Every structure is written in C-alpha cells, then in structure tokens.
Amino acid sequence: MKIVIASDHGGFELKQHIMTYLNELGHEYTDLGCFDAASMDYPDIAFPAAEAVASGEYERGILICGTGIGVSICANKVIGVRCALCGDVLSAELTRLHNDSNMLAMGGRIIGVETAKAIVRAWLGTEFLGGRHARRLAKIAAYEAAEDGLPEM
C-alpha cells in the first residue's frame, strides 16, 4: 500500500516511530515533513498530504500533530478526503469498516507509541464493509460535488 505521512513539530517524534513501524509492516511511504522538531504550522503539511491522497497519488495518509485535531480539520477541508482522528484501536477499525477513511490523524502528545502502532495496524488492516455504508459515502460525495447548496438526497 502506498502511504503518505506527515507531521508538525508536535507529532515529529511519534512520526519517526510510525515510519519505522511502516517499514516493519512492509508498506511503501513518503514523508512530506516536517523533518525536525522545529516549530512549524500544521496546515503546511496537512494540506499537501491530503491533496496527495485525494488525487490518488497515495492510497492512504497518516497525519500527526500534537493532538491530531488541527491536521484532521485541515485534511477534511480537501474534497475526497475522509480523515479520522483516532486515539484507540476500535475507532480505527470502525472508521475503516463504516467510513472508508483514507486518512488517519493521531495526537503525538496524546497517545503513546505502542497505542499508535496498534491503531495504525488496525487502520491499515481493516477493509471497508460497503453495503449501507457505501450509500452514506455516496451522499457525502454528492454534497461535495454540489455547486448550489445541498443536493437532492
């Protein structure tokens, strides 16, 4: 699976651990930054990573900031991205099963390394259920595509 990963300074340390873990799992990834722990603005990494997933260049993306909140807000502004902020394994599984999330956000100051690894393993290893959940995603896509307000549902 082709994955893009990015963090701000608040997620830099956890990102290093997750990249090592992705190597262990055998996944191909690209790091879009940041490349050290110097302070930087999370939109500067979140928007390019989300755009890379939305364009299809990458199948999935992982974003990490201090809480995961800022990067998830940014990512979800990009049409076609479904970014889920997860702090536990069950949420990671359910967001793949029900929401077909294509981006994962985590908080480097909120969760520990082993929890983050378990979240990543569950998120990468869980497939979308489809069925009634696909109908709901189609409604999101229709909303994103509508130019003049809410589409007919």
Q: Is residue 43 part of a domain?
A: yes
pLDDT (tens digit per residue) in 91-105 = 999 999 999 999 999
Looking at residue 149, its pLDDT comes to 65
Determine the structural domain holding residue 9 and report its residue range: 2-128
Q: Is residue 95 part of a domain?
A: yes
CATH of the domain at 26: 3.40.1400.10
- R_g of the chain computed on alpha carbons: 15
Catalytic: which of 65, 74, 83, 86?
Answer: 65
Q: Is residue 81 part of a domain?
A: yes
- Closest of 92, 149, 82, 101 to residue 119, by C-alpha: 92
65 catalytically annotated: yes
**What distance lies between CA 10 and its chain's CA centroid?**
16
Catalytic: which of 9, 17, 27, 98?
Answer: 98
Split into its structural domains, the chain has a count of: 1
74 catalytically annotated: no
Q: Is residue 143 part of a domain?
A: no
Place of tokens 């909140």: 69
Beta bridge mates, 60: 3
Report, as ranges of residue numbers, the positions in the chain whose pLDDT lies below 50: none
Q: Is residue 66 part of a domain?
A: yes
Q: Distance (Å, rounded) from C-alpha 76 to C-alpha 57? A: 17
